[in-house]
Structure 1
């Protein structure tokens, strides 16, 4: 069974939702049969690199709220994160373009390190003091600590076209599925779970999706096959391996 997760590094609910989903998956009896695939989604796709501002300033402008309301909202998010065992700085964080970070996540995917890098970017953005939006050297340090090659990371950052199409392809697929907000979880392309739901909701979705998987139906009459006892020859097993 495959679970695809659309998310953005700048999204606090993606940070919290990932932890809740992982709690459900860890307790799921069939967890070894679940493949998790992370997909790219930008909450602010039109933002240029270098266009960086404090999170509370972005919130007041985007949602027409007061600074006090923005800070109170950050405090509530911090409490939600803490309940999941996550560190969260509710003051002093930046907001900026995540396009380069998504490009690096696709580089990491090619080397089997996407999950590690995603976790590292979340921690760097939500818990660390240095900004991932103003300092490429810091981004390189985070990526290398997550297991990527330094020269490969720098090469991607230096070439704005590298992995760009993969990011855009994920975003086009999200649009085709009707995804307008993240985190968004798609289970076997049969169930959609929107938002940072509780672990119990994720457990229920996984259980239902696993139980409702259609049995494999034969598309044609059976023919010769190979099995543990050898390969069939005119209806009888042979001793030859294949």
Structure 2
């Protein structure tokens, strides 16, 4: 089994593009395990970004929308202001992963924010999204609040720091490390190289 590790944040539009390209690159393969790792771009109490300020509209027009169109990944700049913190959603990801729905959960968080303009910092919204993908809502809500989930999330962030992750997405396949969005071809070659090593 070849593992593809990806560090990402649910409020990073490039992470949705990367996630879609990874899905395409591994489609039909049962020899690849995609492993998600959290990396909060703006952890509490750092202020998060506001779409009415100049930075977000500018970077979306210059970089996000052109890349999304090039790779045929629909998305829209969310209107939620300020943008949500993602620690709560990531605590839920630990539970989703434990019950085998980590990949579906990860994608649902990204699409909820970038395609449906949903506030993924809101516990009620998160619980509803978790239920949509088949998680028990009461168990999910309890897991999000559990001290053990908070500790596991902090441990994952510490691992991200040890790995020197500063850019999301960052993808690691075997000994190859890719910072930023990688094309399907690059991903497939990295997987082939790792499988042959």
1:41-56 equivalences under 5 Å are: 41-47=39-45, 54-56=50-52
Counterpart for residue 228 of structure 1: none
Equivalent residue for 2:87, pick from 90, 96, 99: 99
Counterpart for residue 173 of structure 2: 187
Offset of residue 106 of structure 1? 0.6
Offset of residue 123 of structure 1? 0.8
- Give TM-score, length-normalised by structure 1: 0.72
Q: Quote the Cα distance in structure 2 between the aligned partners of 1:11 and 1:46.
A: 16
Counterpart for residue 142 of structure 2: 155
Report how many aligned residue pairs link the two structures.
194
Would you tell me which structure has more helix in proportion to its own residues?
Answer: 2
Which one has more relative contact order, counting CA pairs under 8 Å at least 6 apart? 2
Q: What runs of 5+ residues in structure 1 fail to find an aligned partner?
A: 58-66, 214-242
Offset of residue 91 of structure 1? 5.1
Q: Quote the Cα distance in structure 1 between the aligned partners of 2:179 and 2:94.
A: 23
Counterpart for residue 181 of structure 2: 196
Structure (1 or 2) with the larger CA radius of gyration = 1
- Give TM-score, length-normalised by structure 2: 0.87
- C-alpha contact 1:82 1:88 (8 A) present in aligned 2: no
Alignment RMSD (CA, Å): 2.2
Q: Which moved more, 1:108-117 or 1:161-170?
A: 161-170
Offset of residue 209 of structure 1? 1.8
